[in-house]
Amino acid sequence: MTEWWADVVDTFARCFLKDDRYLLLLKGIGITIKVSLLAALLGIIIGFLIAICNLSNKKFLNIIGKVYTDVIRGTPSVTQLMIIYFVIFATVNWEKWIIAAIAFGINSGAYVSEIIRAGILSIDKGQTEAGRSLGLNAKQTMMEIVVPQAVKNIFPAMCNEFITLIKETAIVGYVGLMDIQKAGDFIKSATYEAFMPLIGTAIIYFVLIKILTLALAKYEDHLRKSDKR
Protein backbone atom coordinates (compact mmCIF):
# COMPACT_ATOMS: atom_id res chain seq x y z
CA MET A 1 0.00 0.00 0.00
CA THR A 2 2.84 2.36 0.94
CA GLU A 3 4.65 1.59 -2.30
CA TRP A 4 1.47 2.17 -4.33
CA TRP A 5 0.89 5.54 -2.66
CA ALA A 6 4.50 6.57 -3.21
CA ASP A 7 4.09 5.73 -6.90
CA VAL A 8 0.93 7.85 -7.11
CA VAL A 9 2.68 10.81 -5.46
CA ASP A 10 5.67 10.44 -7.78
CA THR A 11 3.41 10.32 -10.86
CA PHE A 12 1.48 13.36 -9.64
CA ALA A 13 4.70 15.30 -9.12
CA ARG A 14 6.03 14.38 -12.57
CA CYS A 15 2.76 15.31 -14.27
CA PHE A 16 1.87 18.54 -12.52
CA LEU A 17 4.78 19.87 -10.45
CA LYS A 18 7.85 19.15 -12.57
CA ASP A 19 8.67 22.06 -14.88
CA ASP A 20 5.62 23.88 -13.40
CA ARG A 21 3.26 21.99 -15.68
CA TYR A 22 0.32 22.91 -13.45
CA LEU A 23 0.64 26.42 -14.90
CA LEU A 24 -0.50 25.01 -18.24
CA LEU A 25 -3.72 23.84 -16.60
CA LEU A 26 -4.24 27.21 -14.92
CA LYS A 27 -3.77 28.95 -18.26
CA GLY A 28 -6.14 26.42 -19.82
CA ILE A 29 -8.82 27.22 -17.23
CA GLY A 30 -8.57 30.90 -18.14
CA ILE A 31 -8.88 30.18 -21.86
CA THR A 32 -11.86 27.87 -21.33
CA ILE A 33 -13.68 30.43 -19.18
CA LYS A 34 -13.02 33.31 -21.60
CA VAL A 35 -14.13 31.35 -24.66
CA SER A 36 -17.24 30.01 -22.89
CA LEU A 37 -18.40 33.37 -21.53
CA LEU A 38 -18.00 35.25 -24.81
CA ALA A 39 -19.56 32.37 -26.75
CA ALA A 40 -22.52 32.27 -24.36
CA LEU A 41 -23.10 36.02 -24.76
CA LEU A 42 -22.93 35.80 -28.56
CA GLY A 43 -25.13 32.70 -28.50
CA ILE A 44 -27.86 34.52 -26.55
CA ILE A 45 -27.79 37.51 -28.90
CA ILE A 46 -27.80 35.39 -32.06
CA GLY A 47 -30.33 32.97 -30.60
CA PHE A 48 -32.77 35.75 -29.73
CA LEU A 49 -32.53 37.25 -33.22
CA ILE A 50 -33.02 33.87 -34.91
CA ALA A 51 -35.93 33.06 -32.59
CA ILE A 52 -37.60 36.32 -33.64
CA CYS A 53 -37.03 35.33 -37.27
CA ASN A 54 -38.62 31.93 -36.69
CA LEU A 55 -41.62 33.50 -34.95
CA SER A 56 -42.05 36.26 -37.53
CA ASN A 57 -44.99 36.34 -39.93
CA LYS A 58 -42.61 37.29 -42.74
CA LYS A 59 -41.65 34.32 -44.89
CA PHE A 60 -38.20 35.72 -45.73
CA LEU A 61 -37.26 35.90 -42.04
CA ASN A 62 -38.65 32.41 -41.47
CA ILE A 63 -36.42 31.05 -44.23
CA ILE A 64 -33.35 32.74 -42.76
CA GLY A 65 -34.08 31.29 -39.31
CA LYS A 66 -34.78 27.80 -40.61
CA VAL A 67 -31.72 27.65 -42.87
CA TYR A 68 -29.48 28.89 -40.06
CA THR A 69 -30.70 26.38 -37.49
CA ASP A 70 -30.69 23.49 -39.99
CA VAL A 71 -27.12 24.16 -41.14
CA ILE A 72 -25.65 24.74 -37.70
CA ARG A 73 -27.44 21.87 -36.00
CA GLY A 74 -26.73 19.55 -38.93
CA THR A 75 -22.93 19.94 -38.97
CA PRO A 76 -20.32 19.04 -36.31
CA SER A 77 -19.12 21.88 -34.10
CA VAL A 78 -15.48 20.94 -34.73
CA THR A 79 -16.03 21.35 -38.47
CA GLN A 80 -17.65 24.74 -37.92
CA LEU A 81 -14.74 25.80 -35.71
CA MET A 82 -12.17 24.86 -38.33
CA ILE A 83 -14.09 26.53 -41.18
CA ILE A 84 -14.47 29.76 -39.22
CA TYR A 85 -10.84 29.76 -38.05
CA PHE A 86 -8.99 28.51 -41.13
CA VAL A 87 -11.30 29.88 -43.85
CA ILE A 88 -13.52 32.78 -42.79
CA PHE A 89 -11.09 34.42 -40.34
CA ALA A 90 -7.89 33.14 -41.96
CA THR A 91 -6.70 36.64 -42.86
CA VAL A 92 -8.02 38.39 -39.75
CA ASN A 93 -5.40 39.24 -37.13
CA TRP A 94 -7.49 38.53 -34.05
CA GLU A 95 -6.61 36.52 -30.97
CA LYS A 96 -7.35 32.82 -31.34
CA TRP A 97 -9.67 32.66 -28.36
CA ILE A 98 -11.90 35.42 -29.77
CA ILE A 99 -12.28 33.61 -33.09
CA ALA A 100 -13.00 30.35 -31.26
CA ALA A 101 -15.61 32.11 -29.11
CA ILE A 102 -17.28 33.48 -32.26
CA ALA A 103 -17.43 29.96 -33.71
CA PHE A 104 -18.98 28.53 -30.55
CA GLY A 105 -21.33 31.51 -30.25
CA ILE A 106 -22.63 30.88 -33.77
CA ASN A 107 -23.07 27.20 -32.94
CA SER A 108 -24.80 27.89 -29.62
CA GLY A 109 -27.09 30.47 -31.23
CA ALA A 110 -28.92 27.77 -33.19
CA TYR A 111 -29.77 25.83 -30.03
CA VAL A 112 -30.52 28.92 -27.97
CA SER A 113 -32.93 30.12 -30.67
CA GLU A 114 -35.01 26.96 -30.27
CA ILE A 115 -34.96 27.32 -26.48
CA ILE A 116 -36.14 30.93 -26.71
CA ARG A 117 -38.74 30.13 -29.36
CA ALA A 118 -40.20 27.33 -27.23
CA GLY A 119 -40.18 29.57 -24.17
CA ILE A 120 -42.05 32.36 -25.95
CA LEU A 121 -44.60 29.93 -27.37
CA SER A 122 -45.20 28.55 -23.87
CA ILE A 123 -46.71 31.90 -22.79
CA ASP A 124 -50.47 31.97 -23.12
CA LYS A 125 -51.75 33.98 -26.09
CA GLY A 126 -54.03 35.82 -23.69
CA GLN A 127 -50.96 37.69 -22.41
CA THR A 128 -50.30 39.07 -25.89
CA GLU A 129 -53.94 39.98 -26.34
CA ALA A 130 -53.95 41.74 -22.97
CA GLY A 131 -50.91 43.78 -23.95
CA ARG A 132 -52.43 44.81 -27.25
CA SER A 133 -55.69 45.75 -25.56
CA LEU A 134 -53.71 48.11 -23.31
CA GLY A 135 -52.47 49.95 -26.38
CA LEU A 136 -49.02 48.36 -26.69
CA ASN A 137 -47.73 47.57 -30.15
CA ALA A 138 -46.38 44.13 -31.09
CA LYS A 139 -42.78 44.96 -30.16
CA GLN A 140 -43.72 46.49 -26.82
CA THR A 141 -45.96 43.55 -25.97
CA MET A 142 -43.18 41.09 -26.81
CA MET A 143 -40.43 42.88 -24.88
CA GLU A 144 -42.42 44.08 -21.87
CA ILE A 145 -44.92 41.27 -21.29
CA VAL A 146 -44.06 38.04 -23.12
CA VAL A 147 -40.25 37.91 -22.86
CA PRO A 148 -40.04 38.64 -19.09
CA GLN A 149 -42.44 35.76 -18.42
CA ALA A 150 -40.66 33.46 -20.89
CA VAL A 151 -37.30 34.00 -19.14
CA LYS A 152 -38.39 31.85 -16.20
CA ASN A 153 -39.31 29.01 -18.53
CA ILE A 154 -36.18 29.13 -20.68
CA PHE A 155 -33.64 29.72 -17.88
CA PRO A 156 -33.11 26.03 -16.92
CA ALA A 157 -32.61 25.03 -20.55
CA MET A 158 -30.25 27.96 -21.05
CA CYS A 159 -28.22 26.78 -18.07
CA ASN A 160 -27.92 23.33 -19.62
CA GLU A 161 -26.81 24.91 -22.90
CA PHE A 162 -24.11 26.91 -21.13
CA ILE A 163 -22.84 23.81 -19.34
CA THR A 164 -22.76 21.92 -22.65
CA LEU A 165 -20.93 24.85 -24.22
CA ILE A 166 -18.15 24.68 -21.61
CA LYS A 167 -17.59 21.00 -22.36
CA GLU A 168 -17.70 21.56 -26.11
CA THR A 169 -14.86 24.08 -25.90
CA ALA A 170 -12.57 21.10 -25.26
CA ILE A 171 -12.05 20.96 -29.04
CA VAL A 172 -10.37 24.38 -29.31
CA GLY A 173 -7.05 22.55 -29.34
CA TYR A 174 -7.72 21.93 -33.04
CA VAL A 175 -6.89 25.60 -33.67
CA GLY A 176 -3.89 25.68 -31.34
CA LEU A 177 -5.48 27.06 -28.17
CA MET A 178 -4.09 25.80 -24.86
CA ASP A 179 -7.36 25.12 -23.03
CA ILE A 180 -7.84 22.61 -20.22
CA GLN A 181 -8.05 19.58 -22.50
CA LYS A 182 -5.08 20.66 -24.63
CA ALA A 183 -3.00 21.26 -21.49
CA GLY A 184 -3.85 17.75 -20.29
CA ASP A 185 -2.88 16.31 -23.68
CA PHE A 186 0.43 18.22 -23.59
CA ILE A 187 1.25 16.84 -20.13
CA LYS A 188 0.31 13.36 -21.29
CA SER A 189 2.66 13.60 -24.26
CA ALA A 190 5.52 15.04 -22.18
CA THR A 191 5.33 12.46 -19.38
CA TYR A 192 4.00 9.40 -21.24
CA GLU A 193 1.43 9.14 -18.45
CA ALA A 194 -2.21 8.95 -19.49
CA PHE A 195 -4.14 8.31 -16.28
CA MET A 196 -3.10 11.25 -14.12
CA PRO A 197 -3.41 14.04 -16.75
CA LEU A 198 -6.78 12.76 -17.97
CA ILE A 199 -8.17 12.36 -14.46
CA GLY A 200 -6.86 15.81 -13.56
CA THR A 201 -8.51 17.31 -16.63
CA ALA A 202 -11.82 15.58 -15.82
CA ILE A 203 -11.73 16.80 -12.21
CA ILE A 204 -11.12 20.41 -13.31
CA TYR A 205 -14.07 20.31 -15.71
CA PHE A 206 -16.26 18.70 -13.05
CA VAL A 207 -15.40 21.35 -10.44
CA LEU A 208 -15.98 24.23 -12.87
CA ILE A 209 -19.35 22.86 -13.96
CA LYS A 210 -20.40 22.00 -10.40
CA ILE A 211 -19.68 25.56 -9.23
CA LEU A 212 -21.57 26.94 -12.21
CA THR A 213 -24.51 24.59 -11.61
CA LEU A 214 -24.83 25.65 -7.97
CA ALA A 215 -24.62 29.34 -8.87
CA LEU A 216 -27.22 29.05 -11.63
CA ALA A 217 -29.54 26.99 -9.42
CA LYS A 218 -29.39 29.70 -6.75
CA TYR A 219 -30.20 32.37 -9.32
CA GLU A 220 -33.09 30.26 -10.67
CA ASP A 221 -34.54 30.06 -7.17
CA HIS A 222 -34.31 33.85 -7.00
CA LEU A 223 -36.20 34.17 -10.29
CA ARG A 224 -38.99 31.90 -9.07
CA LYS A 225 -39.52 33.58 -5.72
CA SER A 226 -42.55 35.37 -7.13
CA ASP A 227 -44.10 32.02 -8.08
CA LYS A 228 -44.07 30.74 -4.50
CA ARG A 229 -47.24 31.15 -2.51
pLDDT tens per residue, range 54-71:
888 888 889 999 999 999
Alpha-carbon distance of 216 to 40, in angstroms, equals 14
Helices (H), 122-146: 125-133, 138-141
Q: Please report which helix (H) or strand (E) contains residue 84, including its range.
A: none
Q: Residue 90 is part of a domain; what is its CATH number?
A: 1.10.3720.10
Asked if the structure places residue 212 within a domain, the reply is: yes
- pLDDT at residue 174 greater than cutoff 70: yes
Asked if the structure places residue 229 within a domain, the reply is: no
Question: Is the separation of the CB atoms in 36 and 107 below 8 Å?
Answer: no
Asked if the structure places residue 218 within a domain, the reply is: yes
Alpha-carbon distance of 39 to 45, in angstroms, equals 10
Q: How confident is the model at residue 74 (pLDDT cuts 50, 70, 90)?
A: very high
Asked if the structure places residue 123 within a domain, the reply is: yes
Instruction: Please give the mean pLDDT across all residues of the chain.
Output: 87
**Arithmetic mean of pLDDT, 88-94:** 89
Asked if the structure places residue 110 within a domain, the reply is: yes
- pLDDT at residue 121 greater than cutoff 90: no
The pLDDT value recorded for residue 146 is 76
Domain count, the chain: 1
Asked if the structure places residue 45 within a domain, the reply is: yes
Residue type at 128 in one-letter notation: T
Asked if the structure places residue 171 within a domain, the reply is: yes
Asked if the structure places residue 77 within a domain, the reply is: yes
Question: Is the separation of the CB atoms in 114 and 154 below 8 Å?
Answer: no
The pLDDT value recorded for residue 39 is 95
Of residues 76 and 131, which shows the higher confidence score?
Answer: 76
Range of the domain at 42: 2-224
pLDDT tens per residue, range 153-167:
888 888 888 999 999
Neighbours of 29 (CB within 10 A): 17
Residue 55 C-alpha from the chain's centroid:
24
CA distance readout (Å), 65 to 4, 76, 158 = 58, 19, 19
